[in-house]
Amino acid sequence: MNVIPRDQHCISRKNISDSALKVMSRLRSQGHQAYLVGGAVRDLLLGGHPKDFDIATDATPEAIHALFRNSRIIGRRFRIVHVRFGREIIEVTTFRGHHDSGDEDSAERGGNHSRQSASGLLLRDNVYGTLEEDAVRRDLTVNALYYDSGKFEVFDHVHGLEDLQRRSICVIGDPAVRFREDPVRMLRVVRFAAKLDFSVDKTTAKAIPRCSHLLAEIPAARLFDEFLKLFLAGHAAATLDKLREYKLLQYLFPQSQEALQRDSHALALLRAAMGNTDQRIAQEKPVTPAFILAALLWPTAKKTATHLQQQGEPPMVAMNNAAHQTISEAARHISIPRRFSQPMREIWEFQLRLQRNHGRKAAELVDHRRFRAAYDFLLLREQAGEETGNLGSWWTTFQELPMEQRLQQATDGKGSPGGRRTRTRRSNRST
Ligand code: ATP
Ligand code: MG
């Protein structure tokens, strides 16, 4: 175990949340070990500001829970304790041991609950252990550094510091074995490579194509959780590129993968959507998964809608049916909760309604709660080179007008940037 003393690393307690410091000192005062671990230590060493603080300890979940009134035990696959301070949640986990040791020793330490499927998939992992055992159970070397806030020391059992310095994402242990235990680790490799702008270690990279098919075993709900971390953490554009590079996108969104191969606008649209989301996050503006999902699946929904229209369905009916088909198909791989699928459909249907830039309804559209997202989506489509008859700039001007003028312009069509011209385009639109 490599111990890095206070004067040889850049972590300062100033950058650690008071709540996390409080939890650690309380645990220590009760005779337990307690360390800051994972992403927080990694990000502190890189000079960044961690978004949350995870703690590892030798205290059992029950012992932790008993120490903090404001805590609860959660999880089944991994039992962890959440300690709540206002809006902040500190995640406290008990050191995990070797999952294959069902021996008396580990049972005595309070856990003998580990299960693996025939293919090596880890179903449960609640065997407790020591710091060293805990370190090697983690996914990446850069995620397995521990900080002792009492002695100000960093503990490194897996050459994590070295990998941090050479900016390398490296799985702990044999990558193929670790990916078999938990295939989501492949997505995590890609996620951290994109987020930190690190390269992927050769051995780790080589194991991905051999193991990627295992992602098909992952429950749709877990993939959705991972999707949120992949695309809503401010690095969606880089993540998309890496997912494609490692051929993993097809396990999350096979339809998007297929569209990228067939439709030249699809990549531009996805890149624009990801870039837009990253920018909004950087500016601390709100983002919704619905918008990203709408972009990821738009090429498929649009193609299906065109097809249904060619079979004689009216445009709005075709769009509706296409949305339904596209989302149900996607949901076979990744869960899409209703609170996101509903706005997705509305954004898509709005693309048709935005083509109606005349009449009273058009004037009122601007005040619709979905207008903003749908208008942004229209601009993205145009940015990606989709032909819309310059609708975007028409709506850009139009929405600035007071309601009265909007009504006037929309009903008489005079002086409107679109007017009759766009109306003729409507007849040969493709969606
Ligand atoms: P982020 O900045 O995204 O929160 P993080 O490193 O804290 O990054 P988490 O998903 O919060 O990532 O996980 C916390 C820690 O738990 C990780 O740093 C890693 O050590 C460990 N971990 C998480 N998921 C796995 C996994 N699937 N297999 C092994 N270890 C994992
Ligand atoms: Mg974290």
Ligand nearest to the CA of 181: 1
CA of 165 to the centre of ligand 2 (A): 20
pLDDT above 60 (res 127): yes
Distances (CA, A) of 73 to 25, 60, 61, 62, 107: 20, 10, 7, 8, 20
Q: Both tokens of residue 344?
A: 């997705």
Domains and CATH numbers, the chain: 1-95+130-166 (3.30.460.10), 266-411 (1.10.3090.10)
pLDDT at 384 over 70: yes
- Decide if pLDDT at 85 tops 60: yes
7 is catalytic: no
The residue behind tokens 């927080």 is 40
The residue whose CA is least distant from atom 24 of ligand 1 is: 139
Q: How many helices (H) and strands (E) does the chain have?
A: 22, 12
Confidence of residue 267 (pLDDT cuts 50, 70, 90): very high
Which residues line ligand 1 at a C-beta cut-off of 6 Å? 38-39, 51-52, 54, 138-139, 143-144, 182, 184-185
Is pLDDT of 219 > 60?
yes
Confidence of residue 98 (pLDDT cuts 50, 70, 90): confident
Q: How far is the CA of 248 from the centre of ligand 2 (A)?
A: 22
Q: Whose CA is nearest to atom 16 of ligand 1?
A: 38
Q: Please report the pLDDT score of residue 370 as a whole number.
A: 86
11 CA to middle of ligand 1, Å? 19
Q: What was the pLDDT predicted at 353? A: 85
Element (H, E) at 74: strand 71-74
Is residue 153 classed as helix, strand or coil in its secondary structure?
strand
Residues with CB under 5 A from ligand 2 (ion): 39, 52
CA angle 266, 269, 270 (to 5 degrees): 85
Which ligand 1 atom lies nearest to the CA of residue 38?
18
Spatial separation of the C-alpha atoms in residues 287 and 275, rounded to whole Å: 12
pLDDT digits (tens, 9 = 90+) for 203-217: 999 999 999 999 999
**Quick one: average pLDDT of 346-368?**
81
